[in-house]
Amino acid sequence: EPEVTQTPSHQVTQMGQEVILRCVPISNHLYFYWYRQILGQKVEFLVSFYNNEISEKSEIFDDQFSVERPDGSNFTLKIRSTKLEDSAMYFCASSEGDSHGYTFGSGTRLTVV
C-alpha cells in the first residue's frame, strides 16, 4: 500500500535554530498538508498545498513557517527561529483531492531544547 514518508523520525534542535522537515507524499496525490500535534493533544492544521502553492493556512502558520516542493517528490516544512513551544509531532499528509481521505505519514517528533 502506498505510504507517505517523513524524515527524520525525530529531530532535536536548539532554540533559535532552523529546521527542515521532509515528506515524500504518495506519487499520484495532488494535495499536501502539514499538521502538528502537541503531545497527546489535538491535531492542528498548519497548511495545505496544491498546484505548487499554498491553498490554505491556519493562524499558526505565520512568517516563522514556510513550505516548499523543491522537486517532483519532496514536500518540506521549514521552521525558522524555533521556540520551545514548537516542540510537537509534525505530520505530513497527502490526498488525491481536497475532499478525499488524507494519508498521513508517521510523523517527525520535533524537540526544541
Examine residue 65 and tell whether it contacts another protein (CB under 8 A): no
Please name which of 38, 29, 14 lies closest in space to residue 75, comparing C-alpha atoms. 29
Q: How far apart are CA 37 and CA 20, in angstroms?
A: 17
**Binding of another protein by 44 (CB under 8 A):** yes
At which residue does the C-alpha cell 505530513 appear? Answer: 92
Q: Does 98 bind another protein (CB under 8 A)?
A: yes
For residue 15, the minimal CB distance to another protein (Å) is 26
**Which cell numbers in the block locate residue 80?**
525558522
Which of 72/101 has CB closer to another protein?
Answer: 101
Rounded distance between C-alpha atoms, residue 27 and residue 75, angstroms: 11
Looking at the Cβ atoms of 18 and 56, the one nearer to another protein is 56
Interaction site with another protein (CB under 8 A): 33, 35, 42-45, 48, 56, 58, 91, 93, 98-107
